[in-house]
Amino acid sequence: MKSISIYLPKDEIPRQWYNLGSELAMQPPVDASGKPIGPEALAKIFPMNLIEQEMCPDPWIDIPEPILDIISRWRPSPLRRAVFLEEYLKTPARIYYKDESVSPAGSHKPNSAVAQAWYNKQFGIENIVTETGAGQWGAALSFACKLIGLNCKVYMVRISFDQKPFRKVMMQLWGGTCVASPSTETEVGRRILAQDPNTPGSLGIAIGEAIEAAVTDQSGKTRYSLGSVLNHVMLHQTVIGLEAKKQLKMAGEKLPDVVIGCAGGGSNFAGLAFPFTLDKIHGANIEIIPVEPEACPTITRGPFAYDYGDVGRQTPLIPMYTLGHAFIPRPIHAGGLRYHGMAPMVSQAVQQGLFNPRALRQTECYEAAMLWANTEGPICAPETSHAIAAVIQEAVKAREEQREKVILFNYSGHGLLDLAGYEKFMAGELSDYALPEEDLRASLEPIMSYPKPKQYGT
């Protein structure tokens, strides 16, 4: 039989998360005057146990047993080999992918949702408020809150709310409440709607609304949760790469030559790539590629700067690649990649020359997704299609160079609720949006006067 899937026994599930921050020259979040913020500055937004994890310098952090109990419902996830795509491309490369679409919510997101819900519950929190782009994070957090016994409210970016109505149903089915963002429920939402009633919304706006809703709640029992970007989210996702390492060994491979993940806020990419980045830091020759949309080219065209994580400027200033907190990306279908910033850990690693970011056009990603579906079979999420398009580029390169590379990528989610985008692509109705230089300059203008992080090597 040609098809290859590598399953790790349940008792091989990772017992610790890996913190790449311990190896990087990380810089702290700061206030508007440039002073590093302490844990108390975040206390109204997050529970203190997660704030401690956010700031933890240790390389390895034990995963509490109750979290393992829940994530082991679908973990370890399979490592599969894309033999049919390899055959089609006539490439000497061996292509492996970590199949995160097997989680109940259909993506990698529950790895952090379960952990965050559990820590909130431990801290005595009863209600969690969050944002969601494509709806994957909102669905994952609703699922986690249902299992752990918390209420969940989700601000969903307007364009995805309209494009992906069934994700809203998933949230409701797991007990979550979902409203379109910008909404009239918050100051941030009302301000944006007054400027542009037809705005498609953005993750930066939805994050602003969710934080505002959490910090203005008077019960003291409500906190905000973010599905990507933050250090603790990166940690939670490293189970992906830690499992993949063991599975590659079972497949008779050593280390991969190329590691690829799509990058919105950076969490699925980091989850797969960080354990291999440690090998790279210690001398392994691995090319590590985060892939983003040309319409939202944060790491390929944005500066490494201090900026807010949300349009409402309620977060501290975070050191990251950014397009400016007020940037509203064009309405591409990969809603989860429409974020103006990038995780500080991913950003710092890019600064230190550890990754080679790449930006791709929406239509080339859909072409790749179609080829994937017509060779391998599964229908991928539009976000995941960015990783697949880069994998195809690398596999073709390996063919041209006649090199037997091992390519590993993260299959971050399925696209069974994202069919509207496929329908438009097949009807020839999708376009590409390269970000004009003058728009980029304008959206960066407000952050020019902010404190500046140290540029690596200067």
Tokens of 146: 């249902």
Place of tokens 């590993």: 408
Q: How far is the CB of 336 from ligand PLP (least distance, A)?
A: 2
Measured from the CB atom, the residue of 112 and 120 that comes closer to ligand PLP is 112
Q: How far is the CB of 400 from ligand PLP (least distance, A)?
A: 29
Asked if 246 contacts 12 with a C-beta cutoff of 8 angstroms, the reply is yes
Measured from the CB atom, the residue of 45 and 157 that comes closer to ligand PLP is 157
Of 88, 53, 98, nearest in space to 409 by CA? 98
Measured from the CB atom, the residue of 133 and 201 that comes closer to ligand PLP is 133
Q: How far is the CB of 117 from ligand PLP (least distance, A)?
A: 17
Tokens of 21: 């921050």
Of 443, 450, 439, nearest in space to 305 by CA? 450
Q: At a CB cut-off of 8 Å and minimum separation 6, what does 131 contact?
A: 137, 138, 154, 155, 156, 157, 181, 203, 206, 207, 209, 210, 226, 227
Q: What is the DSSP pairing of strand 406-411 with strand 258-262?
A: parallel
Q: How far is the CB of 334 from ligand PLP (least distance, A)?
A: 8
Of 43, 62, 63, nearest in space to 52 by CA? 43
Measured from the CB atom, the residue of 94 and 309 that comes closer to ligand PLP is 309
94: left (phi over 0), alpha (psi -120 to 50) or beta: beta
Measured from the CB atom, the residue of 133 and 200 that comes closer to ligand PLP is 133
Measured from the CB atom, the residue of 76 and 133 that comes closer to ligand PLP is 133
Q: How far is the CB of 156 from ligand PLP (least distance, A)?
A: 11
Q: How far is the CB of 271 from ligand PLP (least distance, A)?
A: 8
Asked if 263 contacts 299 with a C-beta cutoff of 8 angstroms, the reply is yes
Q: How far is the CB of 35 from ligand PLP (least distance, A)?
A: 28
DSSP string, 347-374: HHHHHTT----EEE-HHHHHHHHHHHHH
H or E segment and range at residue 283? none
Helix 362-375 vs helix 382-401: crossing angle, to nearest 10:
80
Measured from the CB atom, the residue of 164 and 301 that comes closer to ligand PLP is 164
Closest residue to ligand PLP, judged by C-beta, is 336
Asked if 265 contacts 343 with a C-beta cutoff of 8 angstroms, the reply is yes
Q: How far is the CB of 56 from ligand PLP (least distance, A)?
A: 20
Ramachandran angles phi, psi of 272, nearest 5°: -80, -45
Q: What is the DSSP pairing of strand 16-18 with strand 60-62?
A: antiparallel
Of 400, 367, 341, nearest in space to 133 by CA? 341
Measured from the CB atom, the residue of 188 and 299 that comes closer to ligand PLP is 299
Measured from the CB atom, the residue of 136 and 186 that comes closer to ligand PLP is 136
Strand partners, 307: 318
Give contact residues for ligand PLP (rule: CB under 6 A). Answer: 107, 133-134, 136-137, 228, 262-269, 336-337, 381, 383-384, 412-413
Measured from the CB atom, the residue of 312 and 382 that comes closer to ligand PLP is 382
411-450: burial string, b at 16+ Cβ within 10 Å, e else? bbbbbebbeebbeebeeeebeeeebeeeebeebbeebeee
Q: How far is the CB of 335 from ligand PLP (least distance, A)?
A: 7
Measured from the CB atom, the residue of 30 and 387 that comes closer to ligand PLP is 387
Q: How far is the CB of 124 from ligand PLP (least distance, A)?
A: 27
300-311: burial string, b at 16+ Cβ within 10 Å, e else? bbbbbbbbbbbb
Q: How far is the CB of 126 from ligand PLP (least distance, A)?
A: 25
Distance, CA of 238 to CA of 278 (rounded, Å): 12
